[in-house]
Structure 1
Amino acid sequence: MLIVPKNIYCIGRNYAEHANELGNDIPDQPLLFSKPTHAYVETSNQIINLPTNQGEIHYEIEMVLHVQQKVKKGDLVEDVVSHMALGLDLTLRDVQTELKKKGHPWLRAKGFKNSAIVTPFWIFEGNDDCYNHDFSFVINDKIVQVGNIKNMLFPFQTIVDECQESFGLGSGDLIFTGTPQGVGPLRSGDCCQLYWGNELKGSFIVA
């Protein structure tokens, strides 16, 4: 399925253990931010160029939802989300730390080119199917992150409701739903793989 994203919305700190590992407070409502569409790139076992002069780039594996239609208040996730994928919300961590100290927005740390890496999409089978599958990120044959939506602070329905209320949601919008614990730096030459259960969904190499 060819995806041309309209808007890219992201949920921060949606797993308590991830918030804790970075020393952040656990939010009491979804923490929302966005990425430019130029951040989007789909995996095809290719080389992906990332910045090399702005400090560490951290990986954050997430489940990504594709919205198929205009969302109205009260719509159910199963009725408005058609496809899903795995994605990496990349973060220029050193840049983000400095921005946070100054009280500035995160966009420079979160919205750089190729910072929203996404596998090819497949049909969304609903919450139960997602509960039954772990997702994982593998670097150079080593598992570095494992997650399951059962551990999210805010479930899909809450996320969709919050995005709809705050920004509006329509056909082609993507939602990155948050990352579990285990984030860390990417390095040049890393061979990266994203798994849904035991199924390889996407791969790439860091330039």
Structure 2
Amino acid sequence: MSSSVAANFIKQGKKIYAIGRNYHEHIKEMNAPPNSEPWFFLKPTTSYLSNGGTIEIPQGVEMHHEVELGVVIGKKGRDVPKAQASGYIAGYALGIDLTARNLQQEVKKKGLPWASAKGFDTFCPITDFVPRERIPDASDLVLWLSVNGVEKQRGITKQMIYDIPTLIEHCSSVMTMEEGDLILTGTPAGALSIIRAGDTVAAGLETVSGELITRWDGNAKDREGGYKFQR
């Protein structure tokens, strides 16, 4: 049911729902409590960075990576029940939720909002759209990320605490989903390593048998100008 808007979600989508703490091992490494329900924050669509792009690291920022399966929404929906959730999926993408971790930790200590820690330009590297017909079962996919050829993250989507229908039901119960919106479904363990200027970054989505579905490749550099983090 992919439409031109959904297939071109990078340019035409309006929202990025980013699900937090949806893999047990990531919760453990963050030394954080589990969620009693799906929890999400929003990233701006201006943070999208297409395949082959260059990640820009703001001055003073310690950047961490979180590779995630993205679900592209195919039609408008509000209060969507789990049983009907599959009808709202147009396709998928692989995304990397980048975080200015030191900035996030600093503002959280002060009880302040931390949208800026997630929302810088280039902070959501994203692959091209993958039509749902290419992925019959999104609950059994492998996702991985490497920095300078060294694997840092590897997980399988069946390890998600809240599955995709549950995430669609929850997100649409809070705010109306729109065609071209993206749900980043959470990250597996390994998200506490740093990306530095000069690094090369690769991420892939595969079947459990090792067939590559899509991947993202790019590099990182220091951002010139703009925001500077000063503790």
- TM-score normalised to structure 2 length: 0.83
User: Any unmatched runs of 5+ in structure 2?
Assistant: 1-6, 222-231
Q: Does 2:127 align with 1:119?
A: yes
Q: Which amino acid aligns with 1:145?
A: Q
Q: Is the 8 A contact 1:88 1:116 kept in 2?
A: yes
Unaligned runs of 5+ in 1: none
Q: What corresponds to 2:45 in structure 1?
A: 37
Structure 2: distance between partners of 1:13 and 1:117: 20
Deviation at 1:125, TM superposition (A): 4.2
Task: Name 2:218's counterpart in structure 1.
Answer: 204
Q: Is 1:185 the counterpart of 2:194 in the alignment?
A: yes
Select the residue among 57, 64, 68 that pairs with 2:63. Answer: 57
Query: CA 1:109/1:117 → structure 2, altered by over 3 Å: closer, same or farther?
Result: same
- Aligned-partner residue type, residue 185 of structure 1: I
Q: Secondary structure at the match of 2:36?
A: coil
Give identity over the alignment, percent: 32
SS in structure 2 of the partner of residue 29 of structure 1: coil
Q: Classify the secondary structure of the residue corresponding to 2:22.
A: coil
Aligned to 2:35: 27
User: Given that residues 86 and 165 in structure 2 are in contact (C-alpha distance below 8 angstroms), is that contact kept between their aligned partners in structure 1?
Assistant: no
Equivalent position SS for 2:46? helix
Residue identity in the other structure for 2:91: H
Q: Would you say 1:101 and 2:115 are equivalent positions? A: no
Deviations 1:48-82 (CA, angstroms, capped at 9, x unpaired): 3221x233100000001110101242262321111
Change (3 A) 1:205 1:76: same
Q: CA deviation at 1:155?
A: 0.6
1:127, CA displacement in angstroms?
A: 7.6
Match for residue 46 of structure 1 among 53, 59, 71: 53
TM-score by length of 1: 0.92
1:170, 1:194 → 2: CA distance? 27
Contact 2:75 2:179 (8 Å CA) reproduced: yes
C-alpha contact 1:139 1:192 (8 A) present in aligned 2 = yes
Q: Please list the CA deviations of residues 5-58 of structure 1 after superposition, one character each: whole Å capped at 9, or x if unmatched.
A: 211111011111111101111111111100112111211x2333221x233100
Provide Cα deviations, 1:86-111, integer angstroms capped at 9, x if missing partner. 10000000011111111111201111
Q: Find the counterpart in structure 1 of residue 175 from structure 2.
A: 167
Aligned-residue Cα RMSD (Å) equals 1.7
1:100 match: secondary structure: helix
